[in-house]
Structure 1
Amino acid sequence: MKKWIIPLILLAVVIFWGIGVNNNAVEMDENVGQAWADVESSYQRRNDLIGNLVKTVQGAADFEKSTLTDVIEARAKATSINIDPTNITPEKLAEFNKAQGGLSGALKSLLVTVERYPDLKANQNFLELQSQLEGTENRIDVARSRFNEAVKPYNSYIRAFPRSLIANIAGFDKKAYFEAEDGAEKPVDVEFDFN
C-alpha cells in the first residue's frame, strides 16, 4: 500500500498542475477575445460615423458621386468580414486588415475631395463628424495595441514548455498579432494641389 502513495501523490500533483495550466490559458484566451471585441467595436464606431458622414456629404448636390460610391462600397466590404476571436489566424487578420485599409483609403479620398467644397467644409455636422472620425481612428490604434498586448502573454504562456503539452492537448492555438498594412513602412507622399 505504501508503494502506491508516492505515485498517487505525484499523479494528483500533475493533474492539479494541468488543471491550473488549462484554467490560466482559458483566462488569457478570454482576455484576447475581449481585446479583439474592443478592436471590432472601434471599427464599428468608425463604420457608423462614415454612414453619417456620407449622408451629410450627399447633401452637397454637385459632389462627386464616384468618390461617395467608393466609400460606400469600401464600407460594405469592410463590414462583411468578421473574425471569430477563438480562431484569429494571420490569414484572417490580413484579410480583415486589407478590407479596413481599403475603407481608410476611400475615406481619405473623400476627405481630400471635400477640400474643394467650402460650403461643405463649413457645415457644422460635417466638421463634427470629421472630428469624431479622427478620434475614432485614434481609438482604433489604441484597441489594436491593446489586442497585441493581450496576445503576447497568451502566446508565451501556451508555447512555453511544459505548459505547451497541456495547451496542445486542450486545443489552445497561437493567436496572430495585428500587423501594419502592406506598404505602411514607406513614407507617405503628400501633394498639395492649389489649382
Structure 2
Amino acid sequence: MENCIGNALLTSVTSVNITTGTLVPGAQAQYRPTTNTIIFRPDGIGNSLGEELFHAYQQQLYGTLIGIGNPNTGHLGGSNIEFEEKAYTQLSIWVENFRKMDNHDDSASGGLFVADAAPIFEELTLLNDWIVDFILNNPSGNISLTQNELSSWFTALEAFRAHHFAVNGCGITDVYGCPIDPTFKPDALINLYEKSIENCN
C-alpha cells in the first residue's frame, strides 16, 4: 500500500479470491484466470503477490488471459502477458524511487539501483531503459505511447521471448517463450501508471 503503483493495483483489483495449495515444483504462485483465483505454495509466497494481482488486473482489463492457454493459437500473446507483469514490478520500483528523490527522501539514495541491479538478461536491461525513458517522457496522465516507445517495448519483449523460448520453449506450463501478439500493447501497465500519477503526486 505504501508503493504508489502497488496501491493503485490493490484498489483496482476487485474480485480476486486468494487461496493456498500445491503448485508445480519451483512455482511460487499462479493466477488462474478460469476461476479468477491466485494460488500460493503452502510454504510461502515470496514476492509473488503483486505479480499475480497484476495478472488478475490484466484479466479484468483485457478479458483475454483464458485464451492465452489455448494450444490451438500457439499460446499467442503469452509472452506479452508475462513481460508486462515483469514490467509492472520494475516500474513500481522506479516510480517509487523517483518519487522519493523528488521529495528529498534519504531512503531513495542508492535505492534507484534496486531496479538497475536486477538485469541479468538482455531483456531486463532493455526493459529498465524503456521504463526510465517512459517515466521521464510521461510526467502526466492521458498517455499515448509514441511509435518509438512502442518499438522499444516490442524490442525488449522479443528479447524476453527469445530468451525464454531457448530455455523452456513454449507450452501451457510456461508461456514466457510463446509468440508475441503485435497488437497487444501494455495498456494495463500504462493504466496503473496513470492512476499512480493521480494519487501520488
TM-score, length-normalised on structure 2? 0.27
TM-score, length-normalised on structure 1? 0.28
Give the structure with higher Rg (CA). 1
**Structure with a larger share of its residues in helix:** 1
**Structure with a larger share of its residues in strand:** 2
Structure of higher RCO (CA pairs closer than 8 Å, 6+ residues apart): 1
